[in-house]
Amino acid sequence: MNKLQKELINLFRNIISLSDQDALEKINEFKKLNSSWNDDSETEELLLHKEGLYLYRLNRLEESIKIYKGLIQKENNKKNTNFDILGTHYISILKSLFAMGKLNLVNKLSNNILKNYNFSWGTNLSILTYLIKSNSGTNLHKYINKINEIERNMGTPINLHENSNNKVLFLEKEFRRANQEFSNIIFEKNQNLLKKKLENYIKHEKVGFFRNQAQNYLNSLNRNSI
């Protein structure tokens, strides 16, 4: 971990306990005091992302959207655009538009994004969910390949008779649940307890993707303890 990364982590960790307004001020102070991030694109973008996030939390939604639009433009101008980063910024914009109650815009933008980009299945799942949240009657037929890809990667048993909208909402709910349960387990500090929790999770988890992750983690723990 380099010095800048350490400083950045300290900043992000410290602002968690602050009010959103104070956190935003700290980010801006950091930007002014540390010029070193100017030649570190990832750091600059992370700071901008955090700024956008706190603006969102402060209901300064237009300002938040403006920051994410800038980040999208930046990413698009790169030689090797990272489409998942692009997708994440789009999700942040959808979140703000949704909070503003601009459901028509959310619907339109979600459709455009899905038509024009091929993101990872996790990102697609989020955007499809916004599409449905903005209009429950949206026909998802044209995204059936993306939905199938999500289903395949998640490895979740699902009722074949479910319509596409319900399927996406179900998958998103399951993804959040399984992800959260897995994340809670991996922060267990007691190694023996951690292994037990992982074994139990592997036994019961229906979402194959996280079951496999848990298995990989358990394997690595067992390897290291030999």
Partner 1 sequence: MRLSHSVGELGIPFVERYIDWAKHHTWFFPDGRKVHELSLKNNELVLPRWVKHNLGEKDIKEKILQNALFIEKEEGYDIYLVRYYPKNNENLKKFNEISYSEIPSDWSGTIDIYGFSDYHIQSFLVEEGKLTKKGVYNRKENNKENINTNSQTTCTTYWLDFDYYPIEGGVGSSQSIMVEICYSNLPDGGSSGPPESGGGGTGGNYPGGPGNDKDGMICDANTGQCIPLPGTEPYTSFGFPANPSDGDTFTVTYPDGNQITFTYNQSLDGWLMPEFQGLIDLGYTIDNAHTFPSFNGQLLTLIAWNAALEPTFIGEIIFGSAVIIMSTIYVYDLAKFYFATQDKLSNLEHCMKLYENCIENKPHLPCGKCLGYCDANGYWDSDCPDVMVK
Query: Where does this chain bind partner 1 (CB under 8 A)?
Result: 1, 5, 9, 12-13, 16, 42-43, 45-46, 49-50, 53, 56-57, 59, 82, 84-85, 88-89, 91-92, 95, 98-101, 103-104, 120-123, 126, 132-133, 136-137, 139-140, 153, 161-166, 169, 173, 175-177, 179-180, 183-184, 186-187, 209, 213, 216-217, 220
Contact assessment for residue 96 and residue 109, using Cβ atoms and an 8 Å cutoff: no
- Cα(first)–Cα(last) distance of the chain, in Å? 27
The distance of closest approach from Cβ of residue 73 to partner 1 in the complex, given in angstroms and rounded to an integer, is: 16
Closest CB to partner 1 among 169 and 202?
A: 169
Alpha helices in 78-207 (DSSP H): 83-99, 103-116, 121-134, 144-154, 164-186, 191-204
The distance of closest approach from Cβ of residue 155 to partner 1 in the complex, given in angstroms and rounded to an integer, is: 11
Name the token pair of 184. 């809670």
Euclidean distance between CA atoms 67 and 49, whole angstroms = 8
Closest by Cα among 20, 69, 59 to 28:
20
Name the token pair of 194. 């951690």
Euclidean distance between CA atoms 89 and 143, whole angstroms = 21
Give the angle 43-48-49 at the CA atoms, nearest 5°: 95
Euclidean distance between CA atoms 90 and 67, whole angstroms = 11
Closest CB to partner 1 among 85 and 109?
A: 85
The distance of closest approach from Cβ of residue 203 to partner 1 in the complex, given in angstroms and rounded to an integer, is: 19
Closest CB to partner 1 among 91 and 113?
A: 91
Closest CB to partner 1 among 28 and 184?
A: 184
Evaluated on CA atoms 102, 105, 111, 114, the torsion sign reads negative
Closest CB to partner 1 among 204 and 224?
A: 224
Closest CB to partner 1 among 184 and 200?
A: 184
The distance of closest approach from Cβ of residue 130 to partner 1 in the complex, given in angstroms and rounded to an integer, is: 10
Residue type at 203? K
The distance of closest approach from Cβ of residue 213 to partner 1 in the complex, given in angstroms and rounded to an integer, is: 5
The distance of closest approach from Cβ of residue 87 to partner 1 in the complex, given in angstroms and rounded to an integer, is: 8
Provide φ and ψ at 167, rounded to 5°.
Answer: -60, -50
The distance of closest approach from Cβ of residue 151 to partner 1 in the complex, given in angstroms and rounded to an integer, is: 13
Closest CB to partner 1 among 112 and 219?
A: 219
